[in-house]
Structure 1
Amino acid sequence: MSTLTKPNHIGRKISRIRELKDMKQEALAQALGTNQQAISAMENSETIDEEKLVEIAKALGVSVEAIKNFSEEAVFNYFNSFSDNSINQGPIGAHNICHFHPLDKLMEAVEENKKLYERLLQAEKDKNEYLEKLLEKK
């Protein structure tokens, strides 16, 4: 009987969660303060004691319950449940939907630049006035 058909094979569940998180056995081993061989043996174990499971869950960034209740079907159902309610029903990125007018944003940026330029110009004028006053005192 393969580990895929055993619904309570905790080691296999840990392995799949680790793989879904794009984590290598070495990375998990380092997080747990052990070696890759120990992780491999653990992932082949059908059961793991509760204390160790808590450490593993913390290292994987999931809850103990998430490990215990993990199933491939639930993962696929989760990702398949996303739907796009906008008009963009084609391939990803096929349509760009703007909720603002791009020219309006451009004009806002131009106005902001004008304000910044005016502030810079005023600061230069103030600096020149200050320097002229210093020169007059000499």
Structure 2
Amino acid sequence: MSDSSSKQIHQGRNVKRFREMLGIKQEALAYELGEDWSQKKISTLEQKEEIEENLLAQIADVLKLPVDAFKNFDEEQAVNIISNTFTCSDFKDNASVMNFNPTFDPVDKILKLHEEKIELYERMLKEKDEMMARLEKLIGK
């Protein structure tokens, strides 16, 4: 019998989950983390069970999430909570738990995320153009 409180949270897998939920590619995360990073390095990082605190803080800053999201999120526990809270037979009784009138406009949130993705894409294109110019200069064109 396993104790769920002693279960180790896989921080790398959580980084991957949240990155994918935000629609951010490994290459884009690597770009935001700096020159030392690559898509392959992000892939390796996402396989690590535990990530250094300072690196986790950098990733949290880039993804605009709290560090605790990576440290504490347990998908299995989340699924159990959801399935135990909302079953088909008693959904009407538990409907009051759900917020049908959110205090934020979901469309605004989606538009903001879309604008941020466009800004990131434009920064990546600018960086690519600068890199191409440097390469052309190096090869003497």
TM-score, normalised via structure 2 length: 0.48
Q: Which has the greater radius of gyration? A: 1
TM-score, normalised via structure 1 length: 0.49
Higher relative contact order (CA 8 A, sep 6+): 2
